[in-house]
Structure 1
Amino acid sequence: MTGRKRAVRARILGTVQGVSYRMWTRSEAIRLGVTGWVRNEPDGSVTALVAGADAAVDAMIERLWQGPRGALVSAVEVEEMAHDQAPADFRIVV
């Protein structure tokens, strides 16, 4: 996917820990060709930084609402970020 580059930080709320949400997110990110990272938060949410072509980032945001089997996403809060904050690949971080 080509076009304008952008990055977002997404906070995903709901039943998103203990359901392989981070592994699923990494797999979807690789499939879409976006970079960034994903991590569990102490409050039970998951945070992800997603960077890449505008259309790919939009597609990833849509997928974050779905999650893997067992996930029940109640909200995805998105904040625009500087594109240069993303790594060159997609990582699961602690």
Structure 2
Amino acid sequence: MVQYEIKVIGRVQGVGFRYYTKKQADLLGLNGWVKNLPDGSVLVTVQGNETDVDTFTDYLRIGPARSQVTSLQKVKIQAGNLSREFSIRY
């Protein structure tokens, strides 16, 4: 089990990015959360097995149709106790 903090930069707010992120995480059985940041980026904390998290990260690079991801920063962090679901934080 690994845990990452991922910051997604680009046109990622107002385009359904958080809902897209939750859908992909749910399909892969990952735990964590996603939220918009004041600087216009999106922050994701995700936990699961390494292969699924890598696949998830690939989906984040693509994003939903109206988004445009210009960069993605992925940092491995110490695994903590996350809820058994993936949520959208407001």
Give the whole-Å Cα distance in 1 for the aligned partners of 2:30 and 2:79.
Answer: 11
Q: Does the Cα contact within 8 Å between 1:49 and 1:86 map onto a contact in 2?
A: no
Q: Which amino acid aligns with 1:48?
A: V
Q: TM-score w.r.t. structure 2 length?
A: 0.96
Q: Report whether the alignment pairs 1:20 with 2:16.
A: yes
Counterpart of 1:75 in structure 2 is: 71
User: What is the SS of the residue equivalent to 2:47?
Assistant: strand
Give the whole-Å Cα distance in 2 for the aligned partners of 1:87 and 1:80.
Answer: 18
Identical counterparts, % of pairs: 32
Q: Report whether the alignment pairs 1:86 with 2:82.
A: yes
Q: TM-score w.r.t. structure 1 length?
A: 0.92
Where do 5+ consecutive residues of structure 1 fail to align? none
CA RMSD of aligned residues (A): 0.8
Could you tell me how far 1:81 is from its partner in structure 2? Answer: 1.3
